[in-house]
Amino acid sequence: MTAELPVVRLTPKANVRAIRRGFPWIYANEMVLDRRTKALAPGTVAVLEDSARMPVGLVGVTPASKIAARMLDRDVKTGIDRDWLTARLVRALALRERLYPTPYYRLVHAEADGLPGVIIDRFGDTAVIQPNAAWAEMLLTPLAEALAEVTGVRNILKNAGSRGRQLEGLDDTNAVLLGQAPDAPLPVEMNGATYMADLTGGQKTGLFYDQRPNHAFAARLAGGQAVLDVFSHVGGFALAALAGGAASALAVDGSAPALALAEEGAQRMGAGARFSTRQGDAFDMLTDLGDEGARFGLVICDPPAFAPSKPALDAGLRAYERVARLSAPLVEEGGYLVLCSCSHAADLSSFTGACLRGIGRAGRRAQLLHIGFAGPDHPLLPQLAESGYLKALVFRL
């Protein structure tokens, strides 16, 4: 196998020790990008050697990307083929089937499941693949075939809307890889709530599974409370709170289609009479609610990534502080505030600091009750801090 593959090489300054210990990315400034390497087609599988020409592993190469290569396998004699893909999917499926009684979960969480750059979310007999790395795009057909074989899903969709694909130089064209796309949003049951997942027109793959345990924790605080869910998408925390016995839930989001799906979910749960929505800019809505003197027993803010990269970190932290400052006055005395971040660049300490600054600037004092992370279908690769992106802080004010 190795004799047939091109060879790429680390520079003497590359952190080869970290790579051998499991760090899955090779940055462009760590790899010898000579004319031969630059000429490789994006997604080419190659043998990675250190500067002494000792083999390190097999990588998928994208010469023009900041992440110039992604580690696929330590064994340079293995074949990156359908059998290899099948083995990775079998291992991923075994974990999810142990964790969840129904087939609604993230099946593959990229590097943490040994398939770097690949996201696969499962919705019963339909799966959505995000091939966010060039090597996976090149092997998309055998990946879909292996996925159908391992899971038995009948429909496989390709979602090409990720920012990561742009960084890899990939297209933004969605496709149906097997079967057919659903002609309507699919109902998904989680934590006693019903969510409507739009697999073809919604955000990401159609639903965010990562907040499942945080939805459940917040729902424990929701009984008898008026609940406000800001950046609600399709009703994430609001519908879980209604399932937990909330007296009412108000969902705020900028997307009218997402709120329509949230309303449909509430109706299917039999909770439509306790559910309402406001569509508009979240910061404007928070300001308006404050001006109206609105108060809630439980307020949740789950915004998009304000700090998706290190250059955006300072501005992102200011945005998180602003969310906390505007939302804290809406919480009743003794009530609860849940603040979330899905930013890779904002670690737990810096995000917590921003939230506490905002709460303090609002004139409130807080107890930190709970720190939540993504569910276990989004496993963490310990060597890659970015795989632990989600943080949820639960305060009592």
What's the CATH code, domain 186-396?
3.40.50.150
Query: What are 263-295's pLDDT values in tens digits?
Result: 999 999 999 999 999 999 999 999 999 999 999
The domain 82-178 having CATH identifier 3.30.750.80: the answer here is: yes
pLDDT at 83 over 70: yes
Tell me the pLDDT of the chain averaged across its residues. 96
Q: CA-to-CA distance for 103 and 121, rounded, in angstroms?
A: 10
Question: Residue 112 has what pLDDT?
Answer: 96
The pTM assigned to this predicted structure is 0.94
Catalytic residue annotation: 342
Q: pLDDT tier at 156 (50, 70, 90 boundaries)?
A: very high
Provide the 10 A C-beta neighbour count for residue 324.
25
Phi, psi for 357 (deg, rounded to 5): -65, -45
Mean pLDDT, range 33-43, rounded to an integer: 96
Indicate if the pLDDT at residue 203 is higher than 80: no
Give the mean pLDDT of 215-240: 97
Identify the three-state secondary structure at position 2: helix
Residue 166 pLDDT class (50, 70, 90 cuts)? confident
Model confidence at 11, pLDDT cuts 50, 70, 90, reads very high
- pLDDT value of position 207: 92
According to DSSP, the β-strands at 248-253 and 275-279 are parallel
Q: Domain 2-73 adopts which CATH fold?
A: 2.30.130
CATH 2.30.130.10 occupies which residues in the chain?
2-73
Q: Is 150 helix (H, G, I), strand (E, B) or coil?
A: helix
- For residue 173, pLDDT beyond 70: yes
Confidence of residue 393 (pLDDT cuts 50, 70, 90): very high
> What is the pLDDT confidence band of residue 388, given thresholds at 50, 70 and 90?
confident
- Boundaries of CATH 3.30.750.80 in the chain? 82-178
Question: For the packed helices 282-292 and 313-327, what is the interaxial angle rounded to 10 degrees?
Answer: 20
> Tokens representing 261?
């799906």
pLDDT at 161: 86
Residue 88 pLDDT exceeds 80? yes
At 202 the pLDDT is 75
The per-residue pLDDT for 349 is 96
Angle (CA) 345 212 355, round 5°:
40
pLDDT band at 163 (very low <50, low <70, confident <90, very high): confident
pLDDT of residue 138: 96
Please provide residue 33's backbone torsions phi and psi, each rounded to the nearest 5 degrees.
-100, 70
Judge whether residue 2 has pLDDT over 70: no
Average pLDDT over residues 155-164: 92
* Section 123-140 average pLDDT: 97
**What percent of the chain is predicted at pLDDT more than 70?**
99
Residue 1 has pLDDT above 80, yes or no: no
Would you place residue 385 in the very low, low, confident or very high pLDDT band (cuts 50, 70, 90)?
Answer: confident
> Over the stretch 304-361, which tens digit does the pLDDT of each residue have?
999 988 899 999 999 999 999 999 999 999 999 999 999 989 999 999 999 999 999 9
3 confidence band (pLDDT: 50, 70, 90):
low
Residue ranges, CATH 3.40.50.150, the chain: 186-396
157: pLDDT strictly greater than 70: yes
Question: Which DSSP string corresponds to 18-86?
Answer: HHHTT--EEEGGGB---HHHHTSPTTEEEEEE-TTS-EEEEEEE-TTSSEEEEEEES-TTS--SHHHHH
